[in-house]
A and B are shown apart, each in its own frame.
Chain A
Amino acid sequence: MSAPLSCENLTFSFDKKPMFNNINLTFKEGEFVGLIGANGAGKSTLLQLLLGLLKAKSGEVLLHGDSISKLKRREIAKQLAFVPQSIELPYAFTAQQLVAMGRNPYLGAFELEGEADKKLIDKAMRQTDISHLQHRLVNTLSGGEKQRVIIARALAQQSPTILLDEPIASLDICHQLETMQLIQTLTEAGKTAITALHDLNLAARYCDRLILIGKQENGMTGIISDGTPEQVLTDENLKKQFSIQAKIDLQNEKVVLSNILPISS
């Protein structure tokens, strides 16, 4: 069985400025991967490349071995769900209507959700703890509730892989932890999750694998480090990529950063 998601020799230029060069990544089933890097390092760009939202200059993104460029968007959507950074709705949909949109790749142009679809929609809302919000209009929900509605939409999509772009950036600490736990539960059940994250401590605590993106010595953006949190969150990486210094400890087999200070240059 080939990997649910991988990319080969991915090269990407932004406005003719080369950005990524020869990125090779393979994501395994059930992995919880954190994408980390400083602001503007290219986390969102990499996610959008994996999703096919941006077109790579060369190289390929593969879903179970099939090139994404040869698949229809509907077929891609069955394999790959995406939770964008923010959602602003100009018009009022209810939470349930929004979650139901996750079933779109499985339905024809005039087809309504069947019993099986409704069950999946209900299940996704239970998993994200938003069942009580189903008839509320999405634009009246709080940031955390909205985020969970979007995650529920991605779950209703029933894709083996889910990409999330800073899903916890706008949440309070409690909802941050709950969201990370939810993603962890999903990956334990076999889903692959790739999440762009800012909080290194949360990334270290929940993710199985971290991928650090940043400027390489040749000026190109690339993968600086890829491995377990212990392998990635090193003194040198923190200094070079995040301009911080921190005390790196291991508590309950998890990396914990403390005494984080900026390095003033």
Chain B
Amino acid sequence: MFNNSRFIPLIFIALMTLFFALAISALLKGPTEIAGAQIWDILKQAVFNTDNASIIDWQSNIILDIRLPRIIIALFAGASLALCGLVMQGMFRNPLASPSVLGVSSGASLGAVIAIYLGASLISAWAIPLFAFIGAGISLSIVYRIASSRGQTSVATLLLSGVAVSALNVAAVSLLLAISLSNWDVARMIIYWTMGGLDGRTWDHVYIILPIVVTGFIALLFYSKQLDLLLLGEQHALSVGVDVRRTRRNLLVISTAMVGASVSVVGGIGFIGLVVPHILRLILGPSHRYLLPASLLGGGIALLSADLFLTTFFSDQAIPLGVVTAALGAPFFLFLLVKQRFASGNL
């Protein structure tokens, strides 16, 4: 509240500008050239229902049914991962925590694959997110149980339990895939789903991710003070009036729901939840009052720019989105690990 306060409005203006600039350039960019004025007309028609003779149907389809949902999903999936990373880093009091490192993303993947395997995904579009939510929840509560005793978390235990739970989840996904190979329809659905990414995403996916991330974000805002206080440790938080147990439980539920939603829509995309909150914390300081909205914007910016990077430079090869975020995020993770190792002398 005191150190960088003069720059905070500027930082938010910069983040918002970047957020919308990226969204607009993603709208303009694609394998098919569509003029900016034409896109403007299409959007105007969609919003105000005005009749415009110059609009070509297939162009309108590309903009409204392919690019627009893709952008919205990228922004909100990124936002959800960054917000969850932020909350987990705060709750575990550890800058290395994030949905992918702690095995929460892989738990969500396992849940989603189970939903496909059991055929539940054919019954309702909400089956995959629901199962993903359950899988993420189980994984996170296991890691949480193992790694935090009396509010203290050792880095080694945290990472190791995350690794173990991840390995178990990945093994279970492979097992399910192997079993389902005899039934090609199911296997194909599983393989298609595990590829993840933003290709072929529709408004149905938007309807899953948008409400959950928006509701989750608003709910998290109510916890911004508690998140600050939890950083000081359980005893401190409790002694200044935070109901630690209840707060933790609610935060776990909110962040799990958001991971479940984003994983079920775009698959496991690693390291955004680790890197984005960390960089924002360096710029804005530790107060969640600023970090929460900044992570919403920053996560969206990160995922959308990774996608734009791929579609601009590697549009011919089908490189998964997770590869880009991992290529940037994994070295960053190692850097943090080394830094922490030097700071504390050990792990």
B40 at the interface (CB under 8 A from A): no
Give chain B residues whose Cβ lies under 8 Å from the Cβ of A90: 93-95, 231
Give chain A residues whose Cβ lies under 8 Å from the Cβ of B345: none
Given contacts A90-B93, A90-B94, A96-B2, contact A77 B231 (CB under 8 A): no
Given contacts A76-B241, A92-B285, A100-B1, contact A84 B225 (CB under 8 A): no
Given contacts A90-B94, A92-B285, contact A98 B241 (CB under 8 A): no
A82 at the interface (CB under 8 A from B): yes
B54 at the interface (CB under 8 A from A): no
B238 adjacent to A101 (CB under 8 Å): no
Query: When the two chains form the complex, which single residue of B229, B233, B244, B286 contacts A88, counting CB atoms closer than 8 Å?
Result: B233
A94 adjacent to B238 (CB under 8 Å): no
Residue ID in chain A nearest B285 by CB atoms: A92
Q: Mark B268-296, 1 if CB is under 8 A from A, else 0.
A: 00000000000001000111000000000
Number of residue pairs spanning A and B whose beta carbons lie under 8 angstroms apart = 88
Give chain A residues whose Cβ lies under 8 Å from the Cβ of B224: 109
Tell me the bound Cα distance from A77 to B225 in angstroms: 15
Residue ID in chain B nearest A88 by CB atoms: B233
Whole-angstrom distance from the CB of A87 to the nearest CB of chain B?
Answer: 7
Given contacts A92-B286, A98-B232, A104-B225, contact A157 B240 (CB under 8 A): yes
Q: Mark B208-243, 1 if CB is under 8 A from A, else 0.
A: 000000000000011111001101111110111111
A87 adjacent to B233 (CB under 8 Å): yes
Given contacts A90-B94, A90-B95, A92-B286, contact A101 B1 (CB under 8 A): no
Whole-angstrom distance from the CB of B16 to the nearest CB of chain A?
Answer: 21
B182 at the interface (CB under 8 A from A): no
A77 adjacent to B240 (CB under 8 Å): yes
A33 at the interface (CB under 8 A from B): no
Residue ID in chain A nearest B247 by CB atoms: A73
A101 adjacent to B228 (CB under 8 Å): yes
A116 at the interface (CB under 8 A from B): no
Residues of chain A in range 68-89 having any CB-CB distance to chain B below 8 Å: 72-78, 80-82, 84, 87-89
Whole-angstrom distance from the CB of B111 to the nearest CB of chain A?
Answer: 30
Residue ID in chain B nearest A139 by CB atoms: B343
Query: When the two chains form the complex, which single residue of A96, A101, A110 contacts B232, counting CB atoms closer than 8 Å?
Result: A101
A104 adjacent to B240 (CB under 8 Å): yes
Tell me the bound Cα distance from A76 to B285 in angstroms: 29
Whole-angstrom distance from the CB of A110 to the nearest CB of chain B?
Answer: 8
Whole-angstrom distance from the CB of A61 to the nearest CB of chain B?
Answer: 14
Give chain B residues whose Cβ lies under 8 Å from the Cβ of A157: 239-240
Query: When the two chains form the complex, which single residue of A48, A84, A91 contacts B236, counting CB atoms closer than 8 Å?
Result: A84
Q: Mark A225-253, 1 if CB is under 8 A from B, else 0.
A: 00000000000000000000000000000
B232 adjacent to A87 (CB under 8 Å): yes
A73 adjacent to B242 (CB under 8 Å): yes
Query: When the two chains form the complex, which single residue of B95, B229, B231, B233 contacts A84, counting CB atoms closer than 8 Å?
Result: B233
Tell me the bound Cα distance from A2 to B226 in angstroms: 32
B3 adjacent to A101 (CB under 8 Å): no
B236 adjacent to A87 (CB under 8 Å): yes
Q: Mark B1-27, 1 if CB is under 8 A from A, else 0.
A: 111000000000000000000000000
Q: List 6 A-B contacts (CB under 8 A).
A: A48-B235, A72-B243, A82-B239, A92-B285, A153-B236, A157-B240
- Which residues of A pack against B, CB within 8 Å? 48, 51-53, 72-78, 80-82, 84, 87-94, 96-98, 100-102, 104-105, 107, 109-110, 134-135, 150, 153-154, 157
- Which residues of B pack against A, CB within 8 Å? 1-3, 93-95, 221-225, 228-229, 231-236, 238-244, 281, 285-287
Besides A102-B240, A104-B225, A135-B3, 16 more A-B contacts (Cβ < 8 Å) are A53-B235, A53-B238, A82-B236, A84-B239, A88-B233, A91-B286, A93-B228, A94-B2, A98-B232, A101-B228, A104-B240, A104-B241, A109-B222, A109-B224, A109-B225, A157-B239
